[in-house]
């Protein structure tokens, strides 16, 4: 499917995709692919510029190091899940960067284990959010349990959250947030990629998004 985006995004700031060892390959592909088709430059951000390796064994050379990323130079920070979110503090600097982004009014999108990292950072205490399951986040000791929502993906206060089985819903919220698709076109996009609903393609074609 060759998507013609609703907006070109030629003058938009890059979207920054965090990459680190053990990152979950499947969680951000729908989002980054369709953002790129909409004209957003995708730049990968690692702990340093040294290569990292995903859960699937993909070797990724980051475009830049985390210390060189500034909110004012970005339109969005995407944090995928990774085993490292639950095995120590190696990825805590990414959660602190998410705090800086949100404080500057720049959105953040976190999925799977990254939601636990943000919970530990206190970023979910005052925002509606979701994750894999509520008790996964409760184990972090965070104070936001009452704000947990049983949903495929949630956006609140510039922060998108989703669980590991919802990469399409995660992408839907990101595409909505950045204005790539909206209304019935966004709904059709979700139905096509999440539900394999062939009738949705007609809506996308009519809107020039297919």
**Is 16 in the active site?**
no
If DSSP codes are grouped into helix, strand and coil, which group holds residue 88?
Answer: coil
- The Cβ of residue 85 has, within 10 Å, a number of other Cβ atoms equal to 28
* Catalytic residue (choose from 23, 76, 112, 178): 112
Please, are residues 129 and 97 in contact by the beta-carbon 8 Å criterion? Answer: no
Do residues 124 and 144 touch, judged by C-beta distance below 8 A?
yes
Residue pair 87/58 in contact by the 8 Å Cβ criterion = no
59 burial via Cβ count (<10 Å: 0-12, 13-18, 19+): exposed
Known catalytic residues are 112
């Amino acid at each position: 499917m060759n998507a013609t985006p609703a907006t070109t995004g030629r003058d938009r700031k890059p979207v920054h995709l965090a990459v680190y060892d053990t990152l979950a390959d499947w969680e951000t592909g729908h989002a980054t692919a369709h953002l790129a088709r909409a004209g957003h430059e995708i730049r990968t951000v690692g702990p340093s510029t040294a290569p990292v390796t995903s859960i699937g064994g993909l070797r990724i050379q980051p475009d830049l190091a985390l210390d060189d990323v500034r909110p004012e130079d970005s339109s969005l920070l995407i944090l995928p899940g990774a085993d490292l979110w639950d095995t120590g503090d190696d990825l805590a600097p990414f959660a602190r960067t998410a705090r800086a982004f949100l404080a500057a009014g720049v959105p953040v999108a976190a999925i799977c284990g990254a939601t636990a990292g943000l919970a530990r950072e206190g970023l979910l205490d005052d925002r509606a959010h979701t994750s894999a399951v509520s008790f996964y986040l409760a184990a972090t000791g965070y104070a936001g349990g009452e704000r947990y929502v049983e949903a495929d993906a949630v956006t609140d206060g510039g922060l998108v959250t989703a669980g590991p089985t919802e990469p399409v819903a995660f992408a839907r919220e990101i595409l909505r947030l950045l204005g790539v698709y909206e209304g019935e076109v966004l709904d059709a996009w979700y139905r096509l990629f999440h539900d394999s609903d062939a009738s949705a393609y007609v809506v996308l074609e009519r809107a020039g998004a297919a």
